Structure formats: structure tokens, C-alpha cells
């Protein structure tokens, strides 16, 4: 029997298991065996694998995270790791490998394809910042979680007459901040694409309070930065892909708002709460469709492709194009959100 491998890399998100399940179910239907690669590219370097069958994926559809585990290991970072990936690909007898991940994971997949490996991909990131696809799975769940949090903060903000700053994920793109902020009725939304003008933010909040409103909600993406300032990070340590750990913008923003306005301000950092828990119906269905499409690539030997959502259809796009640049927030959408600021 032919054999296909599957791995999940980068940050986890709801919907990963729906892709894995779809790959395994479709592969077995077509007479393929499936090898699960544990913990992303690290598992292929170390040849850490598990045989998968229909029982392995039974009942995983509503589960968050990934049953295969994940890591941010970059096989191009350490000398010799790339060769181990290629060697183990052959030792495992893989006809093809399905990589499920975001910009970094699929960036590695694209490089390996150019170097001769039969690799295809499925787009995963709660940040929704991958090019060539309208939506990535995991994003819908994240914005629903963030929206619910904003809804809950409304009542406590109103009760205490406070400004509530809500920090959400979003390294270089503020999709979660914009869509969850709009859905949750935020009074100010701050994103990485637009440097924070703290004077303008405080003016908007004062304007709202002058109308008789004694509380406000400010949503900020973790990667947002002040004008002429550096990105606020948790620490300067870099991961294997050269990214600093983001997070922490909420607290200096809250301090600055309270100092400049005199309004009592509190900060809530949602962090990994946005990644956890059961996926929405939309993400389960989208993940399933992506999984079927990637296995279809394997059957047709159409390698070097990523499954993408275009309108309502799942299409094939080159991996190289998908990771070429970050998909930032549509400014038309952000301008609609700005109508409600203050």
C-alpha cells in the first residue's frame, strides 16, 4: 500500500484535528496508509511517528489542539536537520507529506518541495494572515472566543465605570482585533498595521465620556506598536523562526490611557485562551474541506500546492505564493470599524 505522512506545526488552534481526520478517512478510502509525524518538523527530524487508522481519528472532530502535537522547530535552522528530514522521508516510505500550518510551517514545506520532496499544505493560523486564502481555519473560533470575552467585559466595565483594554493575538496582522472588536462593539480598535496615536485614542475616549458614557472598551492586537516606538514584547528571546515573543502592549497602553485621561483602566490579556477549546462548526467544516483537498493533491500527484478558500470554493494555490507575504487587514474593513470609534 502507498503511504502518506501528515504533520501539524507552529501554534496550535481549533480545527487541526478536523484536517487530520479528513486526511486519514480519505486516505484509507483510497487505499493509502497514513503515518502521523509527531510534533511538527521536529518529529520528521527525529523520526518520531505513529501509524494512524480509522480508530485513531474516531471522536477527534470536536477536540481542540492537535492529536499529533506541534512545535516551532525549523529544520533549516540547525545544520544537518534538513538532511535528516529528507532521509527520514525516504526511510518512512512516504509517497507524499501533508503539512498543516501557518507561514513558518508552510514556508519550510515550500522549500522542501523545491528541493525535491512531494509536499502539500493546509493553511492554519488564528491570525488569518496567510496569503492566497480568504480565511484560515482556527480564525473563526478565535474571533468568537474574543467576542464573547469583550461581551463579558462590557458588563463589568459599565458596573465600575472603567476603561477596559483587551489584548488579543495578532503578530503582524490585526484581523482578530478588527473582527472581534467590531462584533463586540469596541469603542477603539488598535492594530499592527496602524501605529498607535495615543493622543487620538485618549481624545476618542474623552469624547465618548463627554456624551455621558462612563465606560469604554479598547481592543488592541498584541503586535500593535506606538508611533515612533518599538514593538512591546514579553522578552527578547527568539524562536526557531526568528520571531520574538509578542504580548504585553495592553499594559503600557492601559497605563498611558489612565495617566492621560484620569479614567480608571484595567487590562485583560486573552492570550492562549483564543487558541484553546472546541472549534466552531465553521472551522470544523473548513478544516475537513482542506484535509480532503490536500489528500486529493496527493492522489493527483499535484505537489507543491496549498488548499485555499476562494469565495465558497476550495482551490489549489502554489505554496510559494501562499507564504510570500503577510495578508494584512483590509483597510476598507478597518475604516468601517473606525466609524464607531468613540
Residues annotated as catalytic (active site), given as ranges: 127
Cell numbers found for residue 34: 497514513
Q: Reduced to 3 states, what is the DSSP secondary structure of residue 46?
A: helix
Instruction: Give the residue from 16, 1, 13 showing the smallest Cα distance to 294.
Output: 16
Strand partners, 290: none
Q: How far apart are CA 153 and CA 149, in angstroms?
A: 6
* Distance separating alpha carbons of residues 98 and 107, to the nearest angstrom: 13
DSSP character for 274? G
C-alpha cell at 42: 521536529
First and final C-alpha spacing in the chain: 62
Give the Cα separation of 80 and 76 in Å (integer): 8
Q: What is the dihedral of CA 242, 133, 249, 332, to 10 degrees?
A: 140
> In whole angstroms, how far apart are CA 275 and each of 3, 91, 224?
31, 34, 19
Distance between CA 243 and CA 265 in Å, rounded?
Answer: 30
Instruction: Choose among 290, 266, 295: nearest CA to 118.
Output: 295
Q: What H or E segment, with its residue span, contains residue 133?
A: none
Q: What angle do CA 184, 256, 183 make, to 5 degrees?
A: 5
Amino acid at each position: 500500500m502507498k503511504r502518506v505522512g501528515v504533520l501539524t506545526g507552529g501554534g496550535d488552534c481549533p480545527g487541526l484535528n478536523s484536517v487530520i481526520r479528513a486526511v486519514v478517512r480519505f486516505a484509507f478510502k483510497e487505499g493509502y496508509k497514513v503515518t502521523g509525524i509527531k510534533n511538527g518538523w521536529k518529529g520528521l527530524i527525529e523520526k518520531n511517528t505513529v501509524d494512524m487508522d480509522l480508530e485513531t481519528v474516531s471522536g477527534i472532530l470536536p477536540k481542540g489542539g492537535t492529536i499529533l502535537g506541534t512545535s516551532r522547530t525549523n529544520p533549516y535552522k540547525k545544520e544537518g536537520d534538513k538532511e535528516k528530514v529528507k532521509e527520514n522521508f525516504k526511510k518512512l516510505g512516504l509517497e507524499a507529506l501533508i503539512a498543516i500550518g501557518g507561514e513558518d510551517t508552510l514556508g519550510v514545506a515550500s522549500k522542501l518541495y523545491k528541493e525535491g520532496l512531494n509536499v502539500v499544505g493546509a493553511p492554519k493560523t488564528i491570525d488569518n494572515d496567510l496569503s492566497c486564502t480568504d480565511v484560515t481555519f482556527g480564525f473563526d473560533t478565535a474571533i468568537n472566543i474574543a467576542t464573547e470575552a469583550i461581551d463579558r467585559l462590557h458588563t463589568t466595565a459599565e458596573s465600575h465605570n472603567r476603561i477596559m483594554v483587551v489584548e488579543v493575538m495578532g503578530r503582524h496582522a490585526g484581523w482578530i482585533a478588527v473582527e472581534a472588536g467590531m462584533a463586540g462593539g469596541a469603542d477603539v480598535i488598535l492594530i499592527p498595521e496602524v501605529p498607535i496615536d495615543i493622543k487620538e485614542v485618549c481624545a476618542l475616549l474623552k469624547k465618548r465620556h463627554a456624551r455621558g458614557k462612563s465606560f469604554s472598551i479598547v481592543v488592541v492586537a498584541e503586535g500593535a506598536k506606538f508611533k515612533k516606538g518599538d514593538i512591546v514584547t514579553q522578552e527578547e528571546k527568539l524562536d526557531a523562526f526568528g520571531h520574538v515573543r509578542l504580548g504585553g502592549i495592553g499594559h503600557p497602553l492601559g497605563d498611558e490611557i489612565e495617566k492621560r485621561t484620569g479614567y480608571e483602566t484595567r487590562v485583560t490579556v486573552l492570550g492562549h485562551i483564543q487558541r484553546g477549546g472546541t472549534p466552531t462548526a465553521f472551522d470544523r467544516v473548513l478544516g475537513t474541506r482542506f484535509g480532503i483537498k490536500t489528500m486529493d493533491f496527493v492522489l493527483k500527484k499535484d505537489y507543491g500546492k496549498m488548499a485555499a478558500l476562494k469565495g465558497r470554493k476550495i482551490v489549489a494555490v502554489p505554496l510559494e505564493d501562499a507564504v510570500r507575504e503577510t495578508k494584512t487587514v483590509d483597510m476598507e474593513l478597518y475604516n468601517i470599524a473606525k466609524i464607531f470609534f468613540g
